[in-house]
Structure 1
Amino acid sequence: MLPPSWTSPPASAFVPTPDPLTPARDITHQHFQAGDEIVVIKGVADGELWGDAMRVVAPSWHTLTEEDGWRLRDADGGAQTFITAHPRYLVHLSRPCPDCMIYLRAMGDHLLPRHAGADNTVIDCGWYTTTAVGQLVHIADVHGGR
């Protein structure tokens, strides 16, 4: 499997795809540290995993999942530069990490065959939403429709 790509081709598509891996991922808050470069896998682009790359800034409370999360900064700016995300959504970019590599491999094995042939298209699997209070929440973690 090629290393994941964090730069998107121009065209994009929303393709709902089940995610049986992320909600069951067992990653503790201590797995990440302030300053770590991470990525949140959101889908496939040009036959590779695709997602949003960010930097871990500080611990925070993740209200919607009622679990601790991390405050993240998007170095490229955008509509929302800082968000809060649960550790199970994050994958290390800045250092080799066996747990994250196993997750990436499993995610690739799950997603890439489903979206083979979608060249020059970014496939957003629709797993995440950003709430009004700035929290990145996986659709499996939203409590009571919030």
Structure 2
Amino acid sequence: MPEPSRPYVPADTVTPERDINHQHFRPGDPVIIVKGIAGGELWGEAMTVVTPSWHTPTEEDGWRLRNPQGGTQTYITAHPRYMIHTSRLCRDCLHHQRALEDRILPRITPTSGPVDGGWYSVTLLNQLVHADDLRSPR
């Protein structure tokens, strides 16, 4: 039986270009990591910023995040450029979200369920890493 067709999801070329510093986020901030699309909109995982943590894949300051849904990866470490505030009107985060929407959404076929864009993976040390950061020499 053939595999069901999966909609094309363009590469996220916006996030690797994002210039945001570590101090932009604070412990307790609710954030989202945009991972793909659902119903013609961006889709991702909601998390809470916990504490500063070294982001080994980029060799830069990152944040330890908690996924309230738990699971095998309740806690991960992410680079600040991967995160978007969800609870406050944040000009930088809104600008980043709009840039993702402008570059990605017009090039996809809407779906009803979530489709992971394959932009992120998690290392053995529970470090979230963007596909472009994996390819970039550091």
**Same fold per TM (> 0.5)?**
yes
RMSD: 2.1
Instruction: Look up the equivalent residue of 1:114 and give its one-letter code.
Output: R
Gapped regions of structure 1 (runs ≥ 5):
1-12
The structure-2 alpha-carbon separation of the partners of 1:14 and 1:129, relative to structure 1 and needing over 3 Å to count, comes to farther
Contact persistence 2:55–2:78 (CA under 8 A): yes
Assess if the C-alpha contact under 8 Å between 2:9 and 2:104 holds in 1.
no
C-alpha distance 42-126 of structure 1, shift in aligned 2 (>3 A): same
CA contact (8 A) 1:15 1:126 kept: no
Of 37, 50, 60, 2:43 maps to: 50
Alignment correspondent of 2:3? none
State the alpha-carbon separation in 2 of the partners of residues 42 and 15 from structure 1.
14
Counterpart of 1:141 in 2: which secondary structure?
helix
Instruction: Determine the C-alpha separation between the residues in 1 that align with 2:76 and 2:67.
Output: 8
Out of 122, 125, 133, the position equivalent to 2:125 is 133
Equivalents in 2 of 1:129, 1:136: separation in Å? Answer: 6
CA contact 2:58–2:133 (8 Å) conserved in 1: yes
Bigger drift between 55-64 and 135-144 goes to 135-144
Change (3 A) 1:72 1:38: same
TM-score normalised by length of structure 1: 0.85
What is the correspondence of 1:56-71 to structure 2 with a 5 Å cutoff? 56-71=49-64
Query: Per-residue CA shift, 1:5-40, capped at 9, x if unaligned?
Result: xxxxxxxx5745222210010010000000000000
Question: 1:37, 1:53 within 8 Å by CA — same for their partners in 2?
Answer: yes
Identity of aligned residues (%): 54
Distance 1:80 1:131 in 2: 11
Mapped partners of 1:110, 1:55: distance in 2 = 26
Task: Report runs of 4+ in structure 1 exceeding 2 Å deviation.
Answer: 13-17
Does the CA-based 8 Å contact 2:7-2:111 persist in structure 1?
A: no
The change in CA–CA distance for 1:84 and 1:143 in structure 2 (over 3 A counts) is same
Deviation at 1:120, TM superposition (A): 1.1
CA distance 1:130–1:96, change in 2 (3 Å): same
Deviation at 1:94, TM superposition (A): 1.5
Consecutive unaligned residues in structure 2, runs of 5 or more: 1-5
> Could you say which residue in structure 2 is the equivalent of 1:4?
none
Larger helix percent: 2
